Structure 1
Amino acid sequence: MTSVKWDAVYVGSGITALTHAALIVDRNPALRVLILEQHDVPGGYATEFCRPKLGARFDCSLHKLSGMGPQGNLRALFRELGLEDKIRLFFPPTFFEVVSTVRLSLPEDARATQLCLTQMFPTEEVALGRFFAEVATYGRDGYMQFETLQGNYEPDFKQLRWAHRNLKPLTVAQALRQRFGDSRLIEILSLPSIYVGCYPEQCAYLYFLHVVYASLFMRSAYLEGGSQHLSNLLVKKLRLAGSDVRTNVDVERIEVDSDDGSQATGVVACGQLIRCSHVYVNASPEHAMRDLLPNLDALQDLRRRAREQIPANSTSTIYLLLDTRPDLIGLGSAETMVLAEAPEQAEQSRALARSSPTDAEIAENAYWVKSSFEVTNYALLSASGGNVVIVNVLDDVRHWPERKTAEYRAKKRRLVQVVLSRLFRAIPALESHVKYREVSTPRTCERYTRNKAGSGYGALVSPYAAAGVSGIAFPVGNVSFLSAWVSGSGYEATMGFARLMARSVQLSRHTVTANERAVRPTNAN
C-alpha cells in the first residue's frame, strides 16, 4: 500500500486524459496527478508503432486535426497548452479525393468545394447551395457547443430549436436523400461520416454538419511526427510539472469507501492501493462499470445504460509501406476515398449485416466489398515516417473470430486480398510498389483498449443511440468520465471536451471539487 496521495488519478492515457491533466496542472502548478496506462506507450489511439528495420512509422489513428485554422477551437487549445510553437503543421489543399469511375478532388474550402460539386452535378446546384448553408448555420452552432456551454458564444436560439426539432431526428442518409436525387452525390457528401466511425444510415445529421463545418470552415491540418508526437508533448509537459504517466500498469479496480459506497478513494493497480482525491476514467464506461467499480445498487441503472450504449463501428486497417513516394504513383492527395460502386446496394448489404452480425460472408460483403473506404497518404503528411499508406475500412467485431486462431489468420488474409484488390483497381500503379503490409482488426482494437466492440470512435453518434452515462449525476463521488464515449469522436471533440471539463473544476492541493455534471454536452444524440 502506498502512502502517497495524488490529487487525481486517470485510468487510461488517451488524448482526453492527457489534455485534461495538462490543463488542470497548468492552472494549479501545486497539483500532482498520475496517469496509468495498460499499454506500453501513452496516448490511447493517438499512438504509433514502428518497424525500425524498414524505416517505417505507422500511426494508429488518423491524425487529421480539424479546427486548426486561425479561428479554430483546437488551434486555440494548442495555444493555451503552450504547444503551438512546438508543432509543425501540414495544411492539405484538398478535403479529400474521390476515386471510382471518375476522380474528383474536393478543396479544403467550403465555397470551392460547393463550386466543384456544382460543376460535376449541375442539376443539383440549388440543393447544394441549401446544404452548404446548413453547414454554415447549424454546423457552426454544433461546432460552438462547448463555447456556448461556457457562455462565450450565443447562438440564435430560435434557429437552434428549429434544428433540434427538424434535423436532430435525421440520419445523414435520410437528410441527404430528402435534399438530393443523385445517389453518387449523396455518397460523396456522406463520406465525412467515416471520420466519426459511422455509415451514413447511422450517423446523426446534425452532428455530421458540425464535422463538415470543422473541416471546411475551420480548416484541417496534419501534425508532423504523427499523433504520437502530440501525446509525447503532453506527457513531457506533465512530467516537467511533477506529475507522472506510467505505462504497462493494469488498473484492477476503483476503490470505493466501504461504508456507504458514496466516494471513490483511489484505485488498485498491480496489487497496490493508490490513494487520490479524484478518479478520471478515460476508458469505455461499460468496462468501468463491469470491471472496475463495485456492484453497488446505486449503479445498476447506469450499468444497464452502459451496456445499451451503441458503439461506433470499429476498423480493419491495412498498413502499407511502398518502395516509392505514393504521390508519384497516383496517390497525390492526403486522403482518398474509394467510392462504393453501388451506394444504395451497399447500404442494403450493411443493413443485412447488422441483422446477422456474426455471419462472416454477409459482413465481409457489406463492409469490405460494397462500402466506401478511406486511404491516407502518410508519406505526404509526415515524410519522416517513410512511404506509408494506411487503408481504413469501417467494420464490426462480431463477425471476427478470436485472435490467434487459424480462422482469424485466414480472415486477415482475406481482408487484404479483398480490400487491396479494390484499391488497386482504383489506382493500379500502387500494386507493384507495395514492399510491406501489416493488418489490425477490431480484435486488435479490443486487445489494446478494452473498448466495447473494439470501437476507437467511442459511442455511435446517431439519432437513436443510447445516452450512456453522461448527463446525469454519477452516484459515486469523485469519479468522472473522460473519453470519446461521452464527448463524441475526433481529436477536436475529445480535446475540446477535456478543455470544457478542466474549466469547470475548482482544484486545490489534495482537494478536487468537481462541478462537471452541470456542464456535460448533449453529444448530438
Structure 2
Amino acid sequence: PEFYAAYSARGKLVFPHGFDAATKALIDKYPEDEKGIKRFIKLIAGIRKEGMNQPRSALVRKLIYPLMPLLYPNLVEADRHTVGSWLDKYISNENAKVDLVAHLVYWGDDPYTLSMFYYGLPFSGFIENGGHFIKGGSQQLSDHLAAYIEKQGGTVLLGKKAEKIITGNGQVTGVIFRDYFNKALDPVTIYCDNVVANCAIPVVPALLDEPYASSLKEKIVDKTNSCSLLCMYLGFNTDVEKFGVKHYSNVIEGEDVKSLKDVKPNHQGDWSKRRFIFVDYAKVNSQLAPPDKSEGVICTVDYLNDWENLNEADYKAKKEEVAQILLKRLERQFSGIRDSIEYYEVSTSKTIQRYTSNPSGSVYGYAQNKEQTGNKRFRNNFLIPNLYFASAWAFPGGGFEGSITGGFLAALQMNKDKIWSVADDEPFVDQRIVPLLERKPIDENTLELRFEKPAVLQAQKGKYACLNLMSPKVTELDLPYRWLPIASSTKEESIRFHIPRDASSFVKSCDLMDKGDEAIIYGPTG
C-alpha cells in the first residue's frame, strides 16, 4: 500500500511508494516547491545508496575521509543538517514541510534535532522498497530466531535477569543471572568467551566492575535519550475500511501544527491536539485477527514525565482519559469506527520502561540527533574486546532496521575476532521445563493439567504462574502461554492448573496434550 496518508485541516496527502510517484504527488500539491522537492527525493535516495556502500573498516574510513565530499556527497550534505534545517533551507511552503515529517514519530519527536541522515535512510527505503510486515506479528520473528538458536545447541532463557558481567585480565569471562520471579533462588554463573549486551547501554555500568563501570559512565554521561511512545492497541469486530480507512498508515495531524516549528511543542502538548498515527493492519494481510475482524494501533509520542509520579489509581485513570480522547478523535476522522471496537489497551512510556528496562521508555535508544549519528554512535566492542553492544542504543541506531542491523554487525565482528574456545558439550538444563503427568476435565467449562513440579518453583495455591507450552499443536492467532492461578497446594508433589475453556488456540493445544508433553513454568507472582 501507500507509505502513508496525512489528514489535516489543509486536506489530505497520500504519499505513494516509488520515487517517481512520490515526486509527482508532492509536486502536484506543492508546485511552487518543485525544485526543492526534487532535491529532497534525490538526497534521501542518495543517502540510502551511499550509506549502504560505506566501508566497514575503520582504517579505510579514515583513509578516505578527505574524499568524502566526492565519494559520498549526499551523506556529507545530510550530516550537516537536521531535518528541520534542511527543509527550511530548500522548501518554502510550511504545509509541505509538515507533510514531509508526518511520520516523524517513527524516528523521533523534533525535526530540528533529528539527523537528516537518520531520517533519510529508512524513509528512502520505504519509498523505494515498500513496507513489509511479518505475518502473525513480530513475535513470529522472535520465535524463529529462538528456534534457530536452540537448533544449533543453544539455550534461550526467559524470566531471568542479568546481575553482573564478570571480567578479568581485560576480558569478559562470564555472566551472573538470577530468576526474575524467585528472588530467593541462588544466582547462576555462566562462563563464556563473548557477551552481547543487547540491553540499554545506560543499564550496563551497574553490571560491570571497575574500571569499566566508571569508564562507560563517563562515555555516556552527556548523551541524550530519545522520546518514548504511547500505543493504543485496538481490536475491531469488522474490517474498518467501511468507515473510510483507505490506507495502512494514517497520520492525524495536530490542530495546532501550522508550521514545522510547531511539531515538537505539539508532541508535548494536550492530548486533544497531539498528532498521532493510526495503523490498519488489515491493509497488509498481517494475520493478526480472524478474517471477519481486524486490528489497529494508535501511536503517538510520549514522555515518562507525564506518568512517573502518578499512583496506580491515578495512572489507570489517566490512561483511560487519554484513551477516550484519542478514540474520540479517531471517530471524528472515521465516522462509525468507534462502535466497532471490541477491545482496546494502552501502553505508555512507563509500560515500555517496565518491560524493556529502557531508561525513560526510550524506544530509539539515544536520540538520533546530529551529535549522536553515524560513526558517532557506539560501535560493537568499544569498551572491552569481547563485550559487544547490539541494540537501538548502539550503532547504527534505533528502529527495527537499525536494531537488527546492529545485531548482524555484532555477529560479523565476533566471527572476525574469533575469540572462541572449545564449546562446552554439556547443555544448560532449564529446570523449569517439566512433563505433563495428567490431563482431565473438571467439568464442561474447565480442564485440569497436572505437571511435575519444577524443583525451583515455590508454588503456592492462589499465586499465579505462567504456563508456556513447549510444542503447542494449535497456534493460529494466539500465543502458547497463559498466566494462571496455581490450583495445587504447596504440599502436593505436582503442580495443577485449571484452564477455563474457550475457543482459543491455547486451550485447543491444552486439550490435545499427551502425557509427557513438556511445558515451561515461570513464576510464581501475584
For the residues of structure 2 that align with 1:136 and 1:474, how far apart are their CA atoms? 31
Percentage of pairs with the same residue: 23
Query: 3-state SS of the aligned residue for 1:286?
Result: helix
Q: 2:336 corresponds to which residue?
A: 429
2:296 maps to 1:385 = no
Q: Which residue of 1 aligns with 2:494?
A: none
Deviation at 1:148, TM superposition (A): 8.3
- Per the alignment, in what secondary structure is the counterpart of residue 336 of structure 1? strand
Structure 1 counterpart of 2:345, from 429, 438, 459: 438
Moved beyond 6 Å, runs of 4+: 146-152, 466-469
Residue from 387, 401, 413 that aligns with 1:479: 387
Equivalent in the alignment of 2:246: 332
From 460, 463, 474, the counterpart of 2:367:
460
Q: Distance in 1 between matches of 2:274 and 2:259?
A: 9
Q: Report the equivalent of 2:275.
A: 372
Deviations 1:207-228 (A, max 9, x none): 2111221111233211111111
1:426-445 CA-partner distances (Å, limit 9, x unpaired): 22231222221111000000
Match of 2:2 among 88, 94, 110: 94
Task: Give yes or no for the alignment of 1:104 onto 2:13.
Answer: yes
Match of 2:207 in 1: 292
> How do 1:28-47 and structure 2 match up within 5 A?
none
Mark the CA change 1:120 to 1:429 in structure 2 (over 3 Å): closer, same or farther.
farther
The equivalent of 1:229 in structure 2 is 140
Secondary structure at the aligned position of 1:98 is classed as strand
Q: Taking structure 1 as reference, are residues 284 and 315 closer, same or farther at Cα in structure 2, changes over 3 Å only? A: same
Matches within 5 A, 1:112-511: 112-145=21-54, 157-159=68-70, 162-163=73-74, 166-257=77-168, 262-270=170-178, 271-289=187-205, 291-294=206-209, 296-344=210-258, 347-348=261-262, 350-351=264-265, 363-365=268-270, 368-381=271-284, 382-386=286-290, 387-402=294-309, 405-465=312-372, 470-471=378-379, 474-486=382-394, 487-506=396-415, 507=418, 510=421
Contact 1:194 1:394 in 2 (8 A): yes
How far off its partner does 1:388 sit?
A: 0.9
The alpha-carbon distance between structure 1 residues 297 and 337, as it changes in their structure 2 partners (threshold 3 A), is same
Report Cα offsets for 1:155-189 as digits up to 9, x if no partner.
98334565565432321112112111222211111
In the alignment, the residues of structure 1 paired with residue 192 and residue 279 of structure 2 have an alpha-carbon distance, to the nearest angstrom, of: 41
Partners of 1:468 and 1:511 lie apart in 2 by 35
SS in 1 for 2:101: helix
In the superposition, the TM-score normalised over structure 2's length comes to: 0.70
Per-residue CA deviation, residues 303-328 of structure 1 (Å, 9 max, x unaligned), is 03324321211001111111211222
Contact 1:403–1:443 at 8 Å: present in 2 too? no
SS in 2 for 1:392: strand
Two-structure CA RMSD over aligned residues (Å): 2.9
Contact kept, 8 Å, 1:97 with 1:104, in 2: the verdict is yes
Per the TM alignment, residue 474 of structure 1 is displaced from its structure 2 partner at its CA by: 3.7
Change (3 A) 1:116 1:352: closer
5+ long unaligned stretches in structure 1: 1-92, 354-362, 513-525
Greater relative contact order structure (CA < 8 Å, 6+ sep): 1
Q: Say if 1:253 and 1:267, in contact at 8 Å, map to a contact too.
A: yes
Who is 1:21 aligned against?
A: none
Deviation at 1:140, TM superposition (A): 2.2
> Compared with structure 1, are the counterparts of its residues 430 and 501 closer, same or farther at alpha carbon in structure 2 (3 Å cutoff)?
same
SS of corresponding position for 1:230: helix
Aligned pair in 2 of structure 1 residues 350, 192: CA closer, same or farther (>3 Å)? closer
- For residues 108 and 203 of structure 1, what CA distance do their matches in structure 2 show? 23
CA contact (8 A) 2:349 2:360 kept: yes
Q: Aligned-pair distance for 1:373?
A: 1.8
Question: Which ranges in structure 2 are unaligned for 5 or more consecutive residues?
Answer: 179-186, 424-526
Question: Cα gap change, 1:468/1:166 in structure 2, threshold over 3 Å: closer, same or farther?
Answer: closer
Q: Distance in 2 between matches of 1:212 and 1:377?
A: 20
CA distance in 2: counterparts of 1:345 and 1:410, whole angstroms: 33
Preserved contact between residue 137 and residue 288 of structure 2 (Cα < 8 Å): no
